Structure 1
Amino acid sequence: MDLQACTEAIRAKVGDQSNLNATLKFDCGSDGVVFIDALSTPNIVSNENLDAGCTVAMLLEDLSAMLNGELTPVNGFMAGKLKVSGDMSVAMRLQNVV
């Protein structure tokens, strides 16, 4: 799954209103970013590299695996496949969305 497909999948999962109540960014390095603004109504999902309350750094292939259900956020974190910076409670709420 490429970045655009991941962005669309996240947009579909987040919907217009989520319970995240924060900003979150998936940083896939040179492959790009997926930014979720769940403070605005409707929620906005884009590829803008903006500051976020929580940033999850991971490879695009791992983000794709997470969106396909092949990798859970907890297993990804424990295996070191994703690194969280910023507000960890936002990353915890992400489990309800992804």
Structure 2
Amino acid sequence: MSDVINEAVKLLSEKLDGTEVGGTVKFDIEGEGSVMVDDAGARAGDEDADVTLSADAETFAGIMSGDINPTSAFMSGGLKVDGDMGMAMKLASALA
């Protein structure tokens, strides 16, 4: 597993601690792998999900650090969303 995925699991666990996801979310980081998030927490994995958020490693790092707003990243095409848009919006507010 890549260092990027390990760091993503750690950061998502911290940022979403106490957040009820209400389903499954996959963060697909181009060229690195995927992180699954559900009410049990974050873990490395590549499974079917209610919503998949795809971005390159730079965009994902910017979202995690707070330098990039998830909604702005989506509007500019840097973040792609496939699936439950409501769940994606809920996550965007938790990550911002």
Whether TM exceeds 0.5 here: the answer is: yes
> Would you say the 8 A contact 1:19–1:93 is kept in 2?
no
Amino acid at match of 1:23: T
**Helix, strand or coil: the match of 1:2?**
helix
Normalised by the length of structure 2, the TM-score is: 0.88
Tell me, in whole angstroms, the C-alpha distance in 2 between the residues paired with 1:61 and 1:3: 13
Amino acid at match of 1:78: M
Which residue number corresponds to residue 76 of structure 2? 79
Tell me, in whole angstroms, the C-alpha distance in 2 between the residues paired with 1:4 and 1:61: 15
Amino acid at match of 2:36: F
Aligned residue among 82, 88, 94 for 2:85: 88
How well do the aligned residues superpose, as a CA RMSD in angstroms? 1.4
Provide structure 1 residue ranges, at least 5 long, that are not aligned to the other structure: none
Shift of 1:95: 2.0
Q: How many residues align?
A: 93
What stretches of structure 1 move > 6 A for 4+ residues in a row?
none
Which residue number corresponds to residue 52 of structure 1? 49
Over the matched positions of the two proteins, sequence identity in percent amounts to 28
Normalised by the length of structure 1, the TM-score is: 0.87
Provide structure 2 residue ranges, at least 5 long, that are not aligned to the other structure: none
